[in-house]
A and B are shown apart, each in its own frame.
Chain A
Amino acid sequence: MIDHDTFLARVDACLDERRDPLDDADVVAFLDAHPEHLQAFAAQRADLRALAGLPVAADRGGEPATARRAPRRRRLLPLLAATAVAAGVAFAVVFGDRDDSPGVAPSDVDPSIDGPPPRPASRILSASLETHATRAYASVDYTVFRPLVQDTHTTFETYELHSLQHKP
């Protein structure tokens, strides 16, 4: 007669092979001899049957949350604690040479004054926003370096995002 640990292992092995554990004579014999485990076995059976009937949306989307990140996560695992891996907002900043740059309006320049042309101000030509979903296995913190643009209404800052992997 198998013991309880072996019983659990046999049940798992059957399920992994998509076989009914009750096709395993040792599993049946164990349950018959240990009716105190029948309830848990039946409950697991019902749960797994119900899992098969769950809609895809039940886990908040058909694509696993870890599917896209798992390869990177594993590769970067040793580096994660020390390396900034992502930035939430990426800016393309171009130092333009056009006169209509913000901060140096054409009307501000006196054409009668000789000398080098005024240094153009920075301009943000594009920005993209990337959403970082909350992960149970990781946490993030941010380091803000300097504002790219700052006025009374808007501030754009550069920063690094540090992702820290938690051990399961």
Chain B
Amino acid sequence: MPTTGTARATTIDDDAFSAFLQQSQPAVRAFVRRLCGGAHDVDDIVQETFAKVWRLRRGFDPARNGLAWLRQAAFRSFCDHRERARRTPEPRPDVHGEASPERPCASELRDELQHRLGALPTIERELLLGFHRDGLSLRELATRHALPVNTVKSHLHRARRRMQRSPS
């Protein structure tokens, strides 16, 4: 039976593959939620992903990292979904870019985020928040902190790296 790690079997039957999908569903759902943001479209993308990998189950190599394979499939589904959504006339909430204070932030994620923010050097934290939360431009941040724009960028890039969580 395959696991989320590397399996040694070279073939997989339908029951084992089904169990593998069931076992992996929470992780895939969490991954898609991170890509999409919130519950919006998550169900559609996860369903689409599992339907796709079920069709491709004969080509699944159990020697590979099964969860990475599922994430790859989910990522492709997400990109397809995103492309289709882009063609729809109605504007949809997207992820990066403009700060929107009214956007909900789950309390547990917020707490964890604040913890990691607190571990950043002051200047990096302020630039990160200024840019991504307050919507200030690089130039505005440069003026505000009396730094060259390129230095602001360097701090910002470092801050984004430091903010990265260890994969779970």
Most buried by B among A14, A15, A50, A56: A50
In B92-147, which residues have CB < 8 Å from any A CB? 94-106, 109-110, 113-114, 117, 121-123, 125-126, 128-130, 132-134, 138, 144-147
A65 at the interface (CB under 8 A from B): yes
Contacts of A45 in B (CB 8 A): 34-35, 37, 95-96
Q: How many of B's residues come within 8 Å of A, CB to CB?
A: 57
Across the interface, name the chain A residue whose C-beta is closest to B78: A22
B156 at the interface (CB under 8 A from A): yes
Partner of B75, one of A15, A32, A44, A53: A32
A157 at the interface (CB under 8 A from B): no
Q: How far is the CA of A8 from the CA of B134 in the complex (A)?
A: 23
Q: How far is the CA of A36 from the CA of B103 in the complex (A)?
A: 29
Contacts of A15 in B (CB 8 A): 96, 160
Contacts of B57 in A (CB 8 A): none
Partner of A43, one of B34, B121, B157: B34
Q: Given A16-B156, A32-B75, A58-B110, do A42 and B35 touch, yes or no (CB 8 Å)?
A: yes
Q: Which 5 A-B pairs have the closest CB atoms?
A: A53-B105, A42-B34, A35-B72, A46-B34, A53-B103
Q: List 18 A-B contacts (CB under 8 A).
A: A16-B138, A18-B96, A35-B71, A36-B68, A38-B31, A39-B167, A48-B132, A51-B113, A52-B101, A52-B132, A53-B104, A58-B114, A58-B129, A59-B117, A59-B125, A66-B145, A67-B145, A70-B147
Q: Which residues of B contact A (CB under 8 A)?
A: 31, 33-35, 37, 65, 68-69, 71-72, 75-76, 79, 82, 94-106, 109-110, 113-114, 117, 121-123, 125-126, 128-130, 132-134, 138, 144-147, 153, 156-157, 160-161, 163-165, 167
Apart from A47-B164, A53-B103, A137-B121, 14 more pairs, CB < 8 Å? A12-B160, A18-B97, A38-B68, A40-B167, A43-B34, A53-B100, A53-B101, A54-B105, A54-B129, A58-B117, A58-B129, A59-B129, A64-B144, A64-B145
